[in-house]
Structure 1
């Protein structure tokens, strides 16, 4: 019979292979095939050293070696294909292209937009490849995932190493094709939902609701985006694993009425429908996978099985879409999910043992763990660190689930029963008011945002600070030191502003 202590030991056998696949793929994309081989060899040596030092099983080392060789070969082929793509001969010129957008556009400053797409043809010649398109926000406002667009564009070399083959700057008016029936239906739901929100909610709330429910940020003003970034709440305006967990979890509560098997089937249907309506871009599929893992861990309370599932999903996703290895969103999703299933439960138990109410302990642990592991990546990406993120996320935590559940239900009803959808949307008003005002208040706090180095220096600096905070927090003098350092940092930031 297995003892409770043994049963709760995390199963990390797949973790070395997942980390190896990630590191090898990222190195190959950024520095080339030779770097991928070097990283693969280094991973095998590290795995062998750990196996010898801590008596790990040698099959784990062999698995790391096999994964390293396979992913190094695969990424080498992908990088070579991207480097020798036929469109490379048109860098610096123009071409007539047909592309199929793979995601909703992102609105940029100056009435511009950007979206990722897959090539269909170049100057009439069929081809494939990932491209980044910059276009006028006026002429290309009808862009949607799956709807082909033909236009002339300036062709330039990719600015990022992510297996893209070109950057296209669209010129003129596009000619639109037709998306699939399913994609057109999903676009109709999104449009009707946004219209219903505008008809019953004030302007800022009407723009926020589609962002929170469907990840549609096209109507958000620049000031709102800046406030949410400063408050550490930007993740709420992007479809994440939390959205998936809330939607599927709401369906699974019916298990007591219809039985667990039917409830799981309904949750699967709800997940598929949600992904289709939101648009099945790489980021949404990633969120669906990571959210499903988090939901599995929460419902089953079997953290031992959640870690192998997360590792397996990393392997599968990198096989299907190797460009995710250098995608910040992928790193944020994986790290946040790992924190929720590994770190947060331990911290919650410690707080509960010290007399904290269980719901409060869980909320604080989740917010702190997620912020701890994602802050280095955010710092590297934006050069900022939010000092109010944990507090802001705790204050708005209670309203996120109602907004997501009611908003998703309203989105489902917008086509068959618009009046009911509008009535449900009205009930999200108070929660949306609270969320937007918390973001505004938090962003206005002196020292809410601390400037950090960007890029790798920012990642290393914030990560080192996070490790130091965790190491010191267990001692009374350590907590005093951390709080004192935080006060000094805020004071210095306010004084320099």
Structure 2
């Protein structure tokens, strides 16, 4: 007689600390320095009380957990309070309040995103890190984040990591996320520095990959494949983009932890097939991860997806959920401490909650479905899609004001081909770097799965009531 499987108890001891770091950072960013300092004091007082409890009662495990969380919260509140004070007194902040003209030396952290501007004129916007700012004939050095908005005619070739000097009018940021100002430029960059060598290499890969797709695939597929593989949506058809949004598949066109998990999983499978040692496999997986991050651009969203992808792979490969949850909590702590603006980023919230659903909810639902006689593969597909939908739907509704009622079915329908497309796309990108004619020759292999993906998105989006409008905001 087979004994029932016993699910491991999740180790949630680090979870309160992750919540404290995330919450305290969000409070400081959204409500300013005063709120951050008040929260720091509010965390420090109970931390002092719990310190006394821990010292007097060494067996009080819950007290230790809460003490660490309060210390994390107090520490992050102090750091965010200090940074918020700097932001409030930054020269760019003052210039934004006055609508003054400024000259800033920046380094873009992402590729320019094309949007429709006034009178049909194309514009781009991108986030960048400030190196220095000149306003009212005075030059200031120092960091900070800004958003650059400019005509698309002269800015589409801008590359992350490249040094730029921009002159434009400063205005207040669109949202509270530690951005100092929005700089609106009416012309090209005043000065452009050299592109870093690794970004030149990444640009060659992206350009050749896109060229191979254009040469060997229909237009809709050629515009979609680079988005699925490396997050390059510059050639994505507006119709395809709208279909993916309505069908609840838009997450596929952005670099996500799922992309990275699939790629690293493929690397580890090849390592296992070649009978290489685990250390060699880990080294090769790390090299593949670094190469992917460079090609997809090391923006905060890609770095976030890389960490979440590693955690998802840990849960998938080891099957040890007990270790996966502490890893997720530790990733949240590290990412928010390094990049506090992620605390108020919708993408970070969606990525984190989806990974949490994969770690916490999905395995339980798989066990339930298997006890009801469902096949393992179908149980896993259903549980993963449903769990991700349950935790992300409220966030998507609050963010976009829409709610896709076909997303579970659509994601289940395309689930079997996403791994195939991701792996084949990575192979095509590698071939494009080494020998473009070979890439053009092998690219048609992805036409059937790409055709299925587009067919599902089109049919799902065409269903009556596929997307429902809901009140936006919290």
With the length of structure 2 as denominator, give the TM-score of the two structures: 0.91
The answer as to whether partners of 2:229 and 2:426 remain within 8 angstroms in 1 is yes
- Structure ranking higher on relative contact order (CA contacts 8 Å, 6+ apart): 2
Alignment of 1:1-150 (within 5 A): 8-37=8-37, 39=39, 41=42, 57-91=62-96, 92-110=99-117, 111-123=122-134, 125-150=140-165
The answer as to whether partners of 1:88 and 1:157 remain within 8 angstroms in 2 is yes
Q: Aligned residue for 1:312?
A: 330
Alignment of 1:182-261 (within 5 A): 182-253=198-269, 254-257=271-274, 258-261=276-279
Larger deviation, residues 25-34 vs 55-64: 55-64
Q: Aligned residue for 1:487?
A: none
CA shift for structure 1 position 377: 0.9
CA shift for structure 1 position 42: 7.0
What is the CA–CA distance in structure 2 between the aligned matches of 1:14 and 1:146, rounded to whole Å? 34
The answer as to whether partners of 1:367 and 1:390 remain within 8 angstroms in 2 is yes
Larger deviation, residues 382-391 vs 117-126: 117-126
Gaps of 5+ in 2: none
What is the CA–CA distance in structure 2 between the aligned matches of 1:357 and 1:202, rounded to whole Å? 36
What is the CA–CA distance in structure 2 between the aligned matches of 1:407 and 1:163, rounded to whole Å? 36
CA shift for structure 1 position 222: 2.2
Residues 1:419 and 1:28: Cα distance change in structure 2 (over 3 Å): same
CA shift for structure 1 position 38: 5.2
The answer as to whether partners of 2:312 and 2:358 remain within 8 angstroms in 1 is yes
2:297 to 276, 279, 283: 279
What is the CA–CA distance in structure 1 between the aligned matches of 2:325 and 2:462, rounded to whole Å? 39
What is the CA–CA distance in structure 2 between the aligned matches of 1:39 and 1:366, rounded to whole Å? 37
Q: Aligned residue for 1:465?
A: none
Q: Aligned residue for 1:382?
A: 400
Residues 1:351 and 1:183: Cα distance change in structure 2 (over 3 Å): same
Give deviations 1:262-291, integer Å, cap 9, x for gaps: 112111111111111111110000000000
Alignment of 1:285-296 (within 5 A): 285-296=303-314
Residues 1:43 and 1:107: Cα distance change in structure 2 (over 3 Å): farther
CA shift for structure 1 position 211: 0.3
Q: 3-state SS of the aligned residue for 1:178?
A: coil
Structure 1 residue runs of 4 or more that deviate by more than 4 Å after TM superposition = 3-7, 37-40, 42-48
Q: 3-state SS of the aligned residue for 1:443?
A: helix
Give deviations 1:460-490, integer Å, cap 9, x for gaps: xxxxxxxxxxxxxxxxxxxxxxxxxxxxxxx
What is the CA–CA distance in structure 2 between the aligned matches of 1:105 and 1:396, rounded to whole Å? 29
RMSD (Å) for aligned C-alpha atoms = 2.2
CA shift for structure 1 position 43: 10
Alignment of 1:407-422 (within 5 A): 407-422=425-440
Residues 1:356 and 1:39: Cα distance change in structure 2 (over 3 Å): farther
Give deviations 1:409-430, integer Å, cap 9, x for gaps: 1112212111221222211111
